[in-house]
Amino acid sequence: MNGVGRRHTSWIAMLGLLAMAFASTTGAASGPCPIPGTTAASEACVRAELGIPAPVFAAVVSLDAAGAVPAAPIRYQTLPRFPVVERDLAFVLGADRPPTAAQIESAIRETAGPLLRRIVLFDVFRFPDGRSSLAWRLLFQADDRTLTDDEVNAIQERIVRHIAETFHITLRSG
């Protein structure tokens, strides 16, 4: 164990009774985090004795080493000139072998084309009869113009038709 690791282990040991709860490991400067330090996890038997139900973790990080890591370059992106158009679509899936949310989302992306900037699954509802409803928020935007309702409506209709035909599910209404 290097000198830094011994110092961190000593610091954890200074916690007294709680120190017995920790099995310390020294983190070398490797992997995605180049900052050396020590991490520890509590033992279940000591947590039970102290009445602590959840796992307890501790980390000691060298601030000198953290300060020496170069900051990631800041990347800027200009704000869009034209507004986003939001639409919500919810589909009702049958109880027997429905498609996955990922399959439906992939088909939505493929069908929508380049004007779809973002898609977020925001609601999952399960009906008592075993069916479910999945709802997505779709954000459309063009770089060179404000989208019209007619443009977005046409894309939305194309998406609904493709999803209904491909997966044999229906658009939720009401």
In a domain, 140, yes or no: yes
Q: What is the pLDDT of residue 22?
A: 37
Q: Cβ contacts of residue 107 below 8 Å, gap of 6+? A: 162, 163, 166, 167
| Cα–Cα distance list, 162 to 20, 25, 88, 95, 167 (Å) | 61, 53, 16, 20, 8
**145: CATH:** 3.30.70.380
Statement: the pTM of the whole predicted model exceeds 0.85: no
Q: Which of 152, 129, 138, 128 is nearest to 104 (CA)?
A: 138
| 107 and 143 both lie in a single domain | yes
The answer to whether 121 and 135 are in contact (CB under 8 A) is yes
The residue with greater pLDDT, 20 or 54, is: 54
The answer to whether 27 and 4 are in contact (CB under 8 A) is no
Give the range of the structural domain holding residue 27, as residue numbers without chain letter.
Answer: 3-68
| 105 and 147 both lie in a single domain | yes
Res. 145 pLDDT band, cuts 50 70 90: very high
Over residues 71-104, the pLDDT tens digits come to 889 998 888 999 999 999 999 999 888 899 999 9
Collapsing DSSP states into helix, strand and coil, what is residue 1? coil
In a domain, 135, yes or no: yes
Beta strand ranges found along 31-160 (DSSP E): 37-42, 57-61, 85-93, 116-126, 132-140
In a domain, 129, yes or no: yes
In a domain, 80, yes or no: no
| 63 and 133 both lie in a single domain | no
Q: What is the pLDDT of residue 130?
A: 92
| 148 and 106 both lie in a single domain | yes
In a domain, 76, yes or no: no
| 57 and 13 both lie in a single domain | yes
Collapsing DSSP states into helix, strand and coil, what is residue 46? helix
Res. 69 pLDDT band, cuts 50 70 90: confident
Over residues 10-32, the pLDDT tens digits come to 544 444 334 333 344 444 444 44
